[in-house]
Amino acid sequence: MKEYDVFIIGSGMAGMTIANKCALKGLKVGITDDLPYGGTCALRGCDPKKVIIGATEVRDFAKRLKGNGIDTIPKINWKDIMAFKQTFVDEMPPKIEKGYKKNGIDTFHNSAKFLSENTLEVGSYKVKANKIVIASGSKPRVLDFEGGHYAKSSTDFLNLEKLPKSLLFIGGGYIAFEFAHIAARCGAEVTIVHRGENPLENFEQDIVKYLVSATEELGIKLILNTDVTAIEKIDDQYRVEGKYAEKTEYYEAEAVFNSAGRPPAIFDLDLDKANITYTKKGVTVNEYLQSTSNPHIYASGDAADSEGLPLTPVAVLEGHTVASNIIKGNSKEVRYPPMPTVVFTLPTMASVGYTESKAKELNYNIRVNFKEVGSWFNAKRLNVKEYAFKTIIDEETQTILGAHLIGPHTEETINLFAMAIKTKMKVNEIRTMIFSYPTLASDIPHML
């Protein structure tokens, strides 16, 4: 039996934050992950994805400026960009493990299962800990229809040695859209099949419609209101069965990808043996991110059913909160600042704060500014068609409640809106600021 003050399941950003912070305070810490250390974001998510997107940004920019100073649109070398991406991925696990060793943290490379309220089976070891943290992240949703196992994961996409000529993505969330845009700009034929009436349902739909337009203009087929019910392999192709109302349609592609959501990776941990309550969204936690049913347990990141969005910076914030409560006793309630989120398509779509419907639901007296601004200088100089914004203003306090953007580099502009919301800056204060010009940020006052 190995014994620890703190034992952590999962070595993503939340788990890593907790492990190192607790170890530096003198606690005996162990950590395990059955996948390479680093978590989804660094190894098979946002970081490698963003590296690959870099090449498509160059092609997209050149295509927009063709005839306006650019003569040749560069081709994307898939093999080279994947090799470049891998340089970022390969360096992470050994670097992280070296940091653990330096801080005196015991490392394991096994899956974990609970045996009781404070004991685990970790590979061939039994582990007992005063506090156990579940920071196991998320994983692709299981497709339980016939042939569902043929669908590859987002991880598989990021490790494709060769890009298929045709791809189909199941689901209409940000993973499907981001990867579809990458594949289409690299020359593939792409289809997205989504069961709902609207894709990207959690975003402001008045803005999503511009992304839908840009996606279809890129040549991506967007099939809505259609349930995928089966996948059949026929020679070197896959035939996907989709049902719409009483109709059945079939779609063919060289590769099919499961982008139908990522539930928390907690359902193989035998949580019931440890008296841990949970929902389909994660471990049920209180304001200290402690299990509501077992005081030995904390959860953070995608594994926790908390108010935090499934984003890497949120996992880090929750990790700091958990570590503080383990070290000092429950004294730090989790507090979420405005959480900007981005769909890294081209154009990018970004959001922070309340949507219009949410603000109305909460009975705010609001003023809504919604405008398509393809005629603005920044759109014209970049030759961008889709540039629009929707801002929600609290009429009583004259502060921003929400901002929703689509256009060039909104992934950066949205951070300024997040700062304004967090600091409760007045609209007139922002309007009278001097921004460097001509920049995308200099458009902000005109969005209010």
Give the pTM: 0.95
The Cβ of residue 152 has, within 10 Å, a number of other Cβ atoms equal to 19
> Which is it for strands 125-134 and 297-299: parallel, antiparallel or unpaired?
parallel
With 0-12 CB in 10 A as exposed, 13-18 as middle and 19+ as buried, what is 357?
exposed
SS3 for 233-277 is EECCEEEEEEEECCEEEEEEECEEEECCCCCECCCCCCHHHHCCC
- Ramachandran angles phi, psi of 382, nearest 5°: -95, -5
The pLDDT score that the predictor gives to residue 246 is 86
Which residues of the chain carry a pLDDT beneath 70?
A: none
The residues near 414 (Cβ < 8 Å, ≥ 6 apart) are 340, 342, 350, 351, 352, 403, 405
247 touches 269 (CB < 8 A): no
CB-based contacts of 294-297 (< 8 A; 24+ apart in sequence): 294/117, 296/117, 296/118, 296/129, 296/130, 296/131, 296/132, 297/117, 297/131, 297/132, 297/133, 297/134
